[in-house]
Amino acid sequence: MKLLKNVKRFAHLPELSAHEIGRPRFRLKNMLAAGLGDFVVQPEWDYYGVAVSTAVVKQTLFSIVQNNNFTITGGATVAKTLQMTSMVQPNQLQAPERMLVRGITCLLDNLCNQTDAIKFGSQTIVNFFISTKSFFVIAHFMKLPAGGGIWAQQFGATAANTIIGPVGNGMPSEHQGFRLTDPGCPGTPGVDQFPEIDGILIAQQQAFKVEVDPTLAAWAQSTGFTTNANNTVPIGTGINAWVYLEGQKARAVL
């Protein structure tokens, strides 16, 4: 009776021939699950950099990937790291990923010179493109907060290099950012009705970029500006900024 039970128990298993021993046809492995997605809350980000005592320039983000060289305007050439960018393919997500962008946040390195931070926040245009179409543009970097606007706190003496304090694009709070979602308006169909907006979709292998341009503020004393030197008070450190595309990603199930 026990032998019969064992025969039934293993009856569904494939039979191996003698030459297959040690090299079976059936192997367990993680394969791409067709039609399924691994959904996560995960941003994409990229870096904007200008050195001290340097005129700011327009830069296009999300085009230079990790481990590729990037020249900081007026500064050194460095290999981009994960801290600088999330991108592994230029201007697109790696297949088969797609992303629903539900918000944009921008942050400045907290060692930024206060005057540079204020000028950059108030004079910089941010423009988000998918393919060649602009899906979102705003005239002030500070409107896309990692918080709620340029923020600084200093303390120390007035002697050179003794005033210290953090600077950022807004009060530090993960709850503040610029949403690309909207509940819509029921209104009258075809007249003043607006649909609910869940975000902006970056489809699989669709090109996208963000242009960061601080050179067009013609209302200012001069168009664009030059960052403070590293011997000013407070000390100049250049502009080190990041743009985050916040949202949900669909990835392959591996």
pLDDT per residue, tens digit, the chain (254 aa), is 555 555 566 666 666 666 555 555 555 555 555 666 788 999 999 999 999 999 999 999 999 999 999 999 999 999 999 999 999 999 999 988 999 999 999 988 888 888 898 899 889 999 999 999 999 999 999 888 886 666 777 666 655 556 666 677 776 666 677 888 888 888 777 777 888 889 999 999 999 999 999 999 877 666 789 999 998 877 899 999 999 999 999 988 76
Residues in the chain: 254
Q: Does residue 211 sit within a domain?
A: yes
Question: Angle 174-176-181 (CA atoms, 0-180°, nearest 5)?
Answer: 115
The pTM for the full model equals 0.79
Q: Does residue 108 sit within a domain?
A: yes
| Tokens found for residue 231 | 């011997």
Q: Does residue 236 sit within a domain?
A: yes
Q: Considering its fold, how many domains does the chain have in total?
A: 1
Whose CA is closest to 252, among 14, 27, 92, 33? 33
Query: Taken in order 198, 143, 63, 247, is the CA torsion positive or negative?
Result: negative
Cis peptide, bond prior to residue 96, ω within 30 of zero: yes
The pLDDT of residue 143: 87
Q: Does residue 113 sit within a domain?
A: yes
| Tokens found for residue 60 | 């296009």
The answer to whether 104 and 180 have CB atoms below 8 angstroms apart is yes
Host domain of residue 248: 36-252
186: phi then psi, degrees, rounded to nearest 5: -60, -50
Q: Does residue 30 sit within a domain?
A: no
Query: Rounded to an integer, what distance in angstroms lies between the CA atom of residue 196 and that of residue 193?
Result: 10
The pLDDT of residue 161: 57
The pLDDT of residue 184: 85
| Tokens found for residue 196 | 């609910």
Strand partners, 252: 37
Q: Does residue 225 sit within a domain?
A: yes
The pLDDT of residue 245: 96
Q: Does residue 102 sit within a domain?
A: yes
Query: Rounded to an integer, what distance in angstroms lies between the CA atom of residue 52 and that of residue 136?
Result: 30
Query: Rounded to an integer, what distance in angstroms lies between the CA atom of residue 40 and that of residue 68?
Result: 26
Q: Does residue 24 sit within a domain?
A: no
